[in-house]
Chain A
Amino acid sequence: MNPQIFDKLKTLAEAAKYDVSCASSGTSRPNSEKGLGSAAGWGICHSFTEDGRCVSLLKTMLTNYCIYDCGYCANRRSNDIPRTTFSVSELVELTIEFYRRNYIEGLFLSSGIVRNADYTMERMVRVAKDLRTIHRYNGYIHLKSIPGASRELVAEAGLYADRLSCNIEMPSEQSLKLIAPDKDYQSVFRPMHYIQQGVLENKEDRKKFRHAPRFAPAGQSTQMIIGGSPDDDNKILHLANAMYQRPAMKRVYYSGYIHINQYDTRLPALITPPLVRENRLYQSDWLMRFYGFKVDEIVNEKHPNLELEIDPKLSWALRNPQFFPVDVNTADYEMILRIPGVGVKSAQLIIASRKFGRLTSENLKKIGVVMKRARYFITCNELPTFTVNEAKPEYIRRALTEPTKKKRKTNERQMKIPFEG
């Protein structure tokens, strides 16, 4: 083994770490003919780094040389960092050997742009092709589609990869042009469109020929940087919502801005990344995808930003007390999902169990409903309690956001011995 590979892996993994996507689900690629690997069903996280993020894929760059100079990126041309490039065979060997040891679910390959988009994209496709054809590898492959790559190369990539992605990075074209003058929305949307078309055409083909090879079976995803531009949550979530309307779009990721290029004055000097805001955006994303919320219910012109101190569902409920209290024994599933403190799982359990008898608050608690929040918004098989309509939204907000008092009082008579050193 080439001893340089250690340095290469360190540099190129470091270069790829700000890409938050790690999903390895949504595809169905069972093991075939006793080859290596399988990617069926949901993804598996294999490890967790010290920042608490899961590691499911070998996330790395092919090269961190880049002709572009995007302000938010650690690999921009003007940064003075060590630059290196993996050869195709090195990357293939690493992927296979990690995979065989059950370290990873597959490969996530991104790249800086060298020479031109097509040259770079071609090398990336080579890696995926070698894995699939020479090594009979059936694990997961996520390829980044390079902005500006040709339709033919994107089409070829889709044949070998499970998921393709293209990052939109900035929530508005204005911000993108300001910070990454070499890029515009067209260069991002075009490959996205190629991917979408590939998926749709493939769907038609498979109707005619059942064994037509699948095109990017796990669809595509994208990523937005949060807090790097003045765009509000209203803008961000509406853009995300528009993305989800596209047929093959599976996930939009939100990445709290980290101030990497400290000399660049076009970007805000944040000391810590906006983690809470990022979390609230993900919660809203889930509300749109799994809880049947419309984007206008979460953010709109009147409420352009998500509240940081309470979650978006509670925030919606407090703005709309007229929908509550909900009777868990009679309400339909859609309405039960809207109760703060009730998740998808508990909502399903409620619907399943109430056929056998009326549910009490004790039952709800055991099912897993967070009664601390839910109790203001429900009625069950008991006398009505102090709900949002009697208590007023302001009171509930205060009750739920105030820090909980310490339960155990310190005993004044207890002798204290201060330990030092």
Chain B
Amino acid sequence: MLYYLYDNTFEGFLTAVFDIYFRKENPERIVNQTTDILLFTETHTIITDEEKASRVFLGLKKKISRSALNMLYLCFLSELPDIELILLRYIQKSLASDISIETNFADDDVLELSKIHKKVSREAERMRMFVRFQKTADGLFFAAMEPLYNVLPICADFFQDRYADQAWLIYDTRRQFGLYYDLKTVEIVRFEQTPDFLRNGKIKQEQQDESETAFQDLWKDYLSSITIRERKNLKLQRQFMPKRFWKYLVEKS
């Protein structure tokens, strides 16, 4: 049994693909360095190398379209167990084929990745839907989220474009990092200490902007007034707005 160990970055993964071709090996799994390894497992630790990664990337670029490359990256962000192996098989098939395989949905890996891609895109869409900013006393707009997949990085452009004239911070409580916009650029931020609001997503009353509670109440009032009671359908509501998001929604928590 041979395991490849890498640092959980996309470059690291592409370096692993390079090494697989270079060393002519066929690893059983490609996993994060921190994974517990069984006794008697052979391992090879990948040292992330930008040059190797870009060679794989350029090679792929000749075989598949930009949107397919982008899809591979999004699927990687899903962080699903052994997503690396599906991606590896897709890359191997692409490199071996004369024509692009990206539309061959009769192939299990292509279909599987297109489904994962859909799931990840959908989760990113839900970030855009369900992020709820709270205004703090010093004018920062703060929101906490707990996405199933690591989609925060791909949402940055959207929020930067839309909320260009306000400083904001969106924090992923599961992966413990956030996106911070300071009116100029968006940066990934990590905090050494995690105060309460970074764990439960709620800014304390005294740290809120003075009108924050009023607008939260207005929003709740608005939603209950707009409901047509004759058409009540809680199941449909849950289907569109799954319960796992409710924790951070102003109107539901």
Interface of A toward B, CB cutoff 8 Å: 1, 5-6, 9-11, 13-14, 16-18, 30-31, 34-38, 44-55, 58-60, 94, 97-98, 100-103, 136, 256, 258, 272-273, 275, 349, 352-353, 355-357, 359-360, 363, 366-367
Please pick, from A16, A101, A136, the residue contacting B133 in the complex, using a CB distance under 8 A: A101
User: Which 5 residue pairs of A and B lie closest in terms of their CB atoms, listed nearest first?
Assistant: A52-B236, A352-B103, A13-B225, A52-B233, A356-B104
B197 at the interface (CB under 8 A from A): no
Residues of B within 8 A of A353 (CB): 103-106
User: Which B residues contact A (CB, under 8 angstroms)?
Assistant: 101, 103-107, 111, 125, 128-135, 141, 143, 161-166, 183, 211, 214-215, 217-219, 221-223, 225-237, 239-241, 249-251
B161 in contact with A30 (CB, 8 Å):
yes
Question: Which of B183, B211, B228 is A1 in contact with, Cβ under 8 Å?
Answer: B211
A100 touches B166 (CB 8 A): yes
Pair B135/A273 contact, Cβ less than 8 Å: no
Interchain CB contact (< 8 A) of A18 among B134, B228, B239, B241 = B228
Flag if A47 contacts B141 (CB, 8 Å): no
Q: A50-B234, A94-B218 are in contact. Are A363 and B133 (CB under 8 A)?
A: no
| Contact of A53 with B141 in the complex, beta carbons under 8 Å | no
Using A30-B161, A45-B240, A100-B135 as known contacts, say yes or no to A258 and B104 having CB atoms under 8 A apart. Answer: no
Across the interface, do B226 and A49 meet the contact criterion of CB distance under 8 Å?
Answer: yes
B130 touches A46 (CB 8 A): yes
CB–CB A17/B141 < 8 A: no
Contacts A100-B141, A101-B215, A366-B105 known; list 5 others, CB within 8 Å: A11-B225, A44-B128, A45-B129, A52-B231, A94-B218
Contacts of B103 in A (CB 8 A): 352-353, 355-356
CB closest residue in chain B, given A11: B225
User: Chain B residues with Cβ under 8 A from A6's Cβ?
Assistant: 217-218, 221
Also in contact, A100 and B163, with CB within 8 A (given A5-B218, A9-B225): yes
Check A97–B131 contact: CB distance below 8 A. Answer: no
| B164 contacts across to A, CB distance below 8 A | 31, 34-36
User: How many angstroms from the CA of A52 to the CA of B230 in the assembled complex?
Assistant: 12
Residues of B within 8 A of A9 (CB): 218, 221-222, 225
User: Which chain B positions have C-beta within 8 A of A38?
Assistant: 161-162
**In the bound complex, do residue A37 and residue B162 qualify as a contact, i.e. CB atoms below 8 Å apart?**
yes
Q: Which residues of B contact A37 (CB under 8 A)?
A: 162-163
Interfacial chain A residues near B218, Cβ < 8 Å: 5-6, 9, 94, 98
Q: Let me know if A14 and B225 touch, CB within 8 A.
A: yes
Which of chain A's residues have a CB closer than 8 A to the CB of B133?
100-102
Question: How distant is the Cα of A79 from the Cα of B225 in the complex, in angstroms?
Answer: 18
Whether the Cβ atoms of A55 and B226 lie closer than 8 Å is: yes
Select which of A45, A58, A100, A275 is within 8 A of B222 by beta carbon: A58
In Å, the complex CA distance between A273 and B103 comes to 44
Question: A49 touching B130 by the CB < 8 A rule?
Answer: no
Q: Please, which residues of chain A bring their CB within 8 A of the CB of B105? A: 349, 352-353, 363, 366-367
12 contacts between A and B (CB under 8 A): A13-B221, A36-B165, A44-B125, A47-B129, A48-B241, A52-B236, A52-B237, A136-B165, A258-B230, A353-B105, A356-B104, A357-B106
Contacts of A366 in B (CB 8 A): 105, 111
State in angstroms the CA–CA spacing of A10 and B219 once bound together: 10
Inter-chain CA distance A239–B219, complex, in Å, is 37
Select which of A11, A17, A100, A102 is within 8 A of B228 by beta carbon: A17
What's the minimum C-beta distance from A342 to chain B, rounded to whole angstroms?
14
Q: Is the CB of B162 within 8 A of A31?
A: yes
Chain A nearest CB from B123 CB (Å) reads 14
Once the chains bind, are A102 and B240 in contact (CB under 8 Å)?
no
Do A102 and B131 touch across chains, with their CB atoms under 8 A apart? yes
How far does the alpha carbon of A319 sit from the alpha carbon of B250 in the complex, in Å? 50
Asked if A273 meets B230 with Cβ closer than 8 Å, knowing A52-B236, A54-B240, A101-B133, the reply is yes
Distance in angstroms between the alpha carbons of A226 and B166 in the assembled complex: 44
Are A47's CB and B241's CB within 8 A?
Answer: yes
User: Measured between C-beta atoms, what is the minimum distance from A398 to chain B in Å?
Assistant: 28
Provide the bound-state CA to CA distance between A58 and B225, in Å. 12
Asked whether, in the complex, the Cβ of A48 is within 8 Å of the Cβ of B226, the reply is no
List, in ascending order, chain A residues with CB within 8 A of B106's CB. 353, 356-357, 359-360, 363
In the bound complex, CA of A352 to CA of B68 (Å): 14
Contacts of B211 in A (CB 8 A): 1, 97
Q: How far is the CA of A18 from the CA of B162 in the complex (A)?
A: 29
CB atoms of B132 and A102 under 8 A apart: yes
Chain A residue contacts of B230, Cβ below 8 A: 258, 272-273
B240/A48 in contact, CB under 8 A? yes
Contacting pair B143 A102 (CB below 8 A): yes
Given contacts A46-B129, A97-B215, contact A13 B222 (CB under 8 A): yes
- Cα-based distance from A192 to B129 in the complex (angstroms): 32
Q: Do B228 and A51 touch across chains, with their CB atoms under 8 A apart?
A: yes
